Copies of this chain bind each other. A is one copy, B any other.
Amino acid sequence: MHLFYQPGVDSPGVNSSDPVEFLSEDDSRHAVKTLRLGIGELIAVTDGHGNQYTAVITKADARRCTFRITSTKTTLPRPFSVRICVAPTKNLDRIEWFVEKAVEVGIERISFFFGQHSERRVLKLERLEKIAIAAMKQSLQSFLPILDEALSVGELLKTIQEEQRFIAHLPSVDSPGVDLPVHLAKAASIAGQYAVLIGPEGDFAEKEIQQAVAAGFQMVTLGPNRLRTETAALTACQFLNFINA
Chain A positions near chain B (C-beta within 8 angstroms): 1, 73, 97, 101, 104-106, 138-141, 173-174, 176, 183, 185, 223, 225-228, 231, 234-235, 238-239, 241-242, 245
Contact present for A223 and B245 (CB under 8 Å): yes
Contact present for A173 and B242 (CB under 8 Å): no
Q: Which 4 A-B pairs have the closest CB atoms?
A: A139-B225, A238-B238, A140-B226, A104-B231
Enumerate chain B residues within 8 angstroms of A226, measured Cβ to Cβ.
138-140
Enumerate chain B residues within 8 angstroms of A174, measured Cβ to Cβ.
1
**Residue in B closest to A101 when the chains form the complex, CB atoms:** B231
Give min CB distance, A89 to chain B, whole Å: 13
User: Can you report 19 residue pairs joining A to B where beta carbons are below 8 Å apart?
Assistant: A1-B173, A97-B97, A104-B225, A105-B223, A105-B225, A105-B235, A106-B225, A138-B226, A139-B225, A139-B227, A140-B173, A140-B226, A141-B225, A183-B245, A223-B241, A223-B245, A235-B238, A238-B239, A239-B242
8 further A-B pairs in the complex, CB-CB below 8 A; given A97-B97, A105-B227, A185-B245: A106-B223, A106-B225, A138-B226, A140-B173, A183-B245, A234-B234, A238-B238, A242-B242
